[in-house]
Amino acid sequence: MLNQNFIDMCGQKSVIRMLSAYGSERAKEIGYENVFDYSLGNPSVPAPESFTQEMIRLLQENDPVSLHRYSPSLGIDSVREAVADSLNNRFDMSYEKKDIFMVSGAAGAIAHAARAVTVPGDEILTFAPFFPEYMPYISATGAVLKVVPADISTFQINFDSFIDMLNDKVMAILINTPNNPSGIVYSTETIDKLAMILAEKEEEFGHPIYLISDEPYREIVFDGVDSPFIAAHYNNTITCYSFSKSLSLPGERIGYIAVNPACEDSSLLVDMFGQISRGIGHNCPPSIIQLAVSKSLYDTADLSVYETNKNLLYTELTKMGFEIVEPGGTFYMFPKALEADAVAFSDKAKALDLLLVPSDTFGVKGHFRISYCIPTEKVERSIPVFQKLADMYI
Amino acid sequence: MLNQNFIDMCGQKSVIRMLSAYGSERAKEIGYENVFDYSLGNPSVPAPESFTQEMIRLLQENDPVSLHRYSPSLGIDSVREAVADSLNNRFDMSYEKKDIFMVSGAAGAIAHAARAVTVPGDEILTFAPFFPEYMPYISATGAVLKVVPADISTFQINFDSFIDMLNDKVMAILINTPNNPSGIVYSTETIDKLAMILAEKEEEFGHPIYLISDEPYREIVFDGVDSPFIAAHYNNTITCYSFSKSLSLPGERIGYIAVNPACEDSSLLVDMFGQISRGIGHNCPPSIIQLAVSKSLYDTADLSVYETNKNLLYTELTKMGFEIVEPGGTFYMFPKALEADAVAFSDKAKALDLLLVPSDTFGVKGHFRISYCIPTEKVERSIPVFQKLADMYI
């Protein structure tokens, strides 16, 4: 009859999505301006004009038959080449067209990468705090996602726990830096230490351990923060990128996988991604969107508002007594809650129409996530509400 | 280490794609106008102006933040509603928004439907001749696709073989009408007989047997041909639609699944599709493409060229002695080859720069597929080449 796995998944709704849906309903009751909705990571700044103009140009100047034709299954050649060039120019790498696979966002990229490098029963490790949608992506492949507990003083990597958990069934490590939900950027020191441990364990276990690097926030790094390009530090890196945040195009589902040419079986991997897409019937991202983003590879939306919001919130909340590891990028912040039960804390905030996501879903207790991709004026108006919340704990 | 399943798939290249790639290479040598490439089903007529203009309007008149935001995971509400309305208006059905799931083309739709209604080891039946990509779609779900032999005199359904193969492990039947590669449209009589058999067997087996109806060619039906709307004839129908052919948008990856509201577990199915998308990390089709097609639901590209080409080819090839079941729609034709070995026949054609796909890949021996989605003047110029080919068999 019906497949029970998917029926069960229907019952596991995302806490973030549910809070966001509550926010939309509440806004209808009391007005959008009165709900301080920090739940969803939906970019608040417009896509760059270069993207919009290129889309219009493609539609106005091209023969529709040729514009809208099937994309080759690994992506449009000129687009893959342009992506490789942009990575080489920006990060001093040596990608070629053959190393790039166009995909509909980082979610699909991660799911493809995980599917390619594991068989059912293999393990993938990730680090708390982590994006909870990793669970469905990995479990759908048949592999098992295990979560290394957080180092809550820095939100860098908890290496002691990591080494304990790194056994020979682990085929991949899934990292996300700049990180959702902590906003933390892994330092060069962290990445080099990770790379060193992985290289040692590859030798010991006799098989590659791929580093699946989820990088949708790569372009949102704040002033003065060290943000290494991961693949430059570890050969067996599969980079999963999305244009959702950098170009403010979350609904257009466009990204790529870049396989480090020095990676074990690199050419095989890209072909395998094509076969994975074929099997799920999803083939390529839309041709016109591929073509348009290829002209905005050196551009971003105006991302400065996120740093403005971060500075404002970090300064004011710290003054109120919140303990926060200062974000180095993204549009997230992950302060300690003012009581041990993050859900109870978030419920108190919700009663003030301040929507904060409790941390449990991210694999850490007693914290909460703020998604500050909202207008700065609204952040400013939310400060007294945070104060009211803090005052409840005096 | 790497997942061998996907490595193996890399070796199973599509015969159609390989022939098409040969055609492109050959065109570079002897000129595009001298290669009669009937290999690929890529629409040859432009998308309707209404689609292009709506895309431009969306880009020019909308706030980019709102235009490019995340789509809800089942599709944009207004789009799902418009799709339901258009089906109701055109086919006298009673779909609602809740019954429609937006998906990136019929391929994804079929894979989702198959995944939802089977568990690994279950069977799905389809009818030869069939689109060979069904194999990877179904085998990736863990279910087994079994092919009912063709009725080569009509290319309607071979009911005797079908009834023999219909056992209690069969959870779904996958049909494609108008059909790729035969061009045949299943008659009302065929569909009603199929529906009657399925209803009886559901009773006998005690579980639903879903009819997964792959309908990308629904709008390409020739003058006077009876083309029933499948879901109106069988309640447990899951309709898989793509705009690739009707709007000439194959590269833009947009379609939908419509679950008959009278279908068993209909509301559960749509939610399950959302979870399947979530697990593979592919979420929704792009927001802007969803919005744009929703304004072209009553429109098509100018599809008349396909009927013109069909008439020309059918008349001329029949005169030459080819045996052909006359197509009722699509842009395909599936004549009997002039020797038993379809590959040898297609090779002889290839030597004349006439590219015809041998039938073996479609589950039938001794035939070939002509994809006549090419300009009519080229079809005309190809007639003497077909004659030359036929003359080799006198």
State the pLDDT at residue B1. 74
> Is the torsion defined by CA of A264, A160, A135, A189 positive or negative?
negative
Minimal Cβ distance to B52: which of A42, A64, A104: A64
Give every residue of chain A whose pLDDT is below 70, as ranges.
none
Strands A123-127 and B368-371: unpaired
B120-166 residue pLDDT tens: 999 999 999 999 999 999 999 999 999 999 999 999 999 999 999 99
| pLDDT of B391 over the 90 cut | yes
User: Is B59:A52 a contact under the CB 8 Å cutoff?
Assistant: yes
- More reliable by pLDDT, B11 or A141: A141
Contacts of B306 in chain A (CB under 8 A): none
State the pLDDT at residue A12. 81
User: Is A252:B286 a contact under the CB 8 Å cutoff?
Assistant: yes
Minimal Cβ distance to B252: which of A4, A112, A287: A287
Helices (H), chain A: 4-11, 15-30, 49-61, 64-67, 77-91, 105-117, 134-139, 159-165, 188-205, 266-280, 287-293, 304-320, 342-351, 376-391
Single-letter residue type at A23:
G
**Residues with Cβ within 8 Å of residue B65, at least 6 apart in sequence:** A43, A44, A45, A46, A47, A248
Contacts of A2 in chain B (CB under 8 A): 116-117, 265, 268-269, 272
Spatial distance between the Cα atoms of A55 and A60, rounded to a whole number of angstroms: 9
B201-251 residue pLDDT tens: 999 999 999 999 999 999 999 999 999 999 999 999 999 999 999 999 999
Q: Taking all residues of chain B, what is their mean pLDDT, rounded to a whole number?
A: 96
**Per the CB < 8 Å rule, is B116 touching A44?**
no
User: Is B143:B121 a contact under the CB 8 Å cutoff?
Assistant: yes
State the pLDDT at residue B42. 87
What are the φ/ψ torsions at residue A369 (nearest 5 degrees)?
A: -105, 135
Name the residue in chain A with its Cα closest to that of B209. A1
B14-66 residue pLDDT tens: 889 889 989 999 999 999 999 999 998 889 999 999 999 999 999 999 999 99
Alpha-carbon distances, residue A168 vs A126, A143, A217 (angstroms): 15, 14, 30
Supply B134's token pair.
């069904």
- Distance between A321 CA and the closest CA of chain B, angstroms: 34
State the pLDDT at residue B114. 97
Supply A341's token pair.
């039960």
**Per the CB < 8 Å rule, is B253 touching A7?**
no
**Per the CB < 8 Å rule, is A42 touching B69?**
yes
Mutate to test the interface with B, among A6, A205, A212, A246 (most CBs of B within 10 A): A6
Provide the b/e sequence for B356-371 (b: ≥16 CB within 10 Å). Answer: bbbbbbbbbbbbbbbb
**Per the CB < 8 Å rule, is A278 touching B55?**
no
